Amino acid sequence: MSEGGTVNGTAPARRRDSARSRELLLRAASELFGERGFDRTTIRDIGERAGVDPALIARYFGNKTLLYVAALQAEQGDETPADLFDPDRLHQIFERSDRRGPVPLLQVAVQPLSDPRAQDATRAALHARLVEPLHERFVREGLDRPQLRAEMVVAAVSGILLGRHSGAFDALAGAEHEDLVDLLRDTLLSGR
């Protein structure tokens, strides 16, 4: 046995392989979620794109939803996102939703996920990425009930994005996202 308790130095190599496999899965998931959306991306597809056993998703992330949340966090990094009053941020969210479809981050705003760990992680990501930046703005502006206001705006935007993909609203589904952003800002965001 060598120093550090490894036999023939295999444990450090295995740890490097684990870290590499995890990174490959995260990168592949991010690419596929961006290209196909959450629902049309399978665990098998992610494993194939990463070149690793798809069963490792369960080992490193828990499930597809938690992998999605990890991919979101990796995309964001340590940067605090702009709030929904920033026109570029709103355009970015609509564009991403059009590309990826109704992702767990939006779905958790209207319906709990079946996996409690996925629910908690997705809820935390929703708050960190969408609610908290608005809450901070409303506090800076001295508005009353800033948390409630922030949650209402995020719930409304989530509902619009989900409704756009539901098949229930023809005009909403057919509208250009630039028009939706302008109407949303005029209708909902200007009346604070």
Query: What digits encode the pLDDT tens for the residues 102-113?
Result: 777 788 888 887
Whether residue 90 sits in one domain with residue 48? no
Select from 26, 44, 78 the last residue of a domain.
78
Whether residue 184 sits in one domain with residue 161? yes
pLDDT at 5: 47
Question: For residue 163, what are the domain limits?
Answer: 80-192
Whether residue 88 sits in one domain with residue 74? no
pLDDT at 74: 82
pLDDT at 14: 53
Contact 158, 109 (CB under 8 A): yes
Count of alpha carbons within 13 Å of 130, Cβ hemisphere only? 24
Whether residue 109 sits in one domain with residue 44? no
pLDDT at 176: 92
Q: How many CB atoms lie within 10 A of CB 90?
A: 21
pLDDT at 1: 47
| Structure tokens that stand for 154 in this block | 């995020």
The separation between CA 106 and the C-alpha centre of its own chain, rounded to angstroms, equals 8
pLDDT at 17: 85
Whether residue 65 sits in one domain with residue 128? no
Q: What residues contact 115, with CB distance under 8 A and at least 6 apart?
A: 62, 63, 65, 66
Q: CA 127 to CA 141: how far, in whole Å? A: 19
Whether residue 60 sits in one domain with residue 93? no
Contact 128, 79 (CB under 8 A): no
Q: What residues contact 75, with CB distance under 8 A and at least 6 apart?
A: 30
Select from 19, 48, 78 the last residue of a domain.
78
pLDDT at 52: 94
Whether residue 182 sits in one domain with residue 94? yes
Q: CA 28 to CA 31: how far, in whole Å? A: 5
Domain containing 16 — which CATH number? Answer: 1.10.10.60
Q: CA 12 to CA 192: how far, in whole Å? A: 55
Q: What is the mean pLDDT of each run of 10 residues along the chain (192 residues)?
A: 49 67 92 81 95 94 89 76 88 85 79 81 89 95 95 92 92 92 81 56
CA torsion angle for 145, 147, 151, 157 (degrees, to 10)? Answer: 80
Q: CA 107 to CA 58: how far, in whole Å? A: 21
pLDDT at 4: 47
Q: Which 8-state DSSP code applies to residue 82? A: P
Select from 78, 95, 114 the last residue of a domain.
78
Q: Which 8-state DSSP code applies to residue 78? A: T
Whether residue 86 sits in one domain with residue 56? no
Q: How many domains does the chain have?
A: 2
Q: CA 108 to CA 120: how far, in whole Å? A: 9
> Is the pTM above the cut of 0.95?
no
pLDDT at 58: 93
Whether residue 74 sits in one domain with residue 104? no
Whether residue 85 sits in one domain with residue 50? no
Whether residue 40 sits in one domain with residue 89? no
Whether residue 185 sits in one domain with residue 120? yes
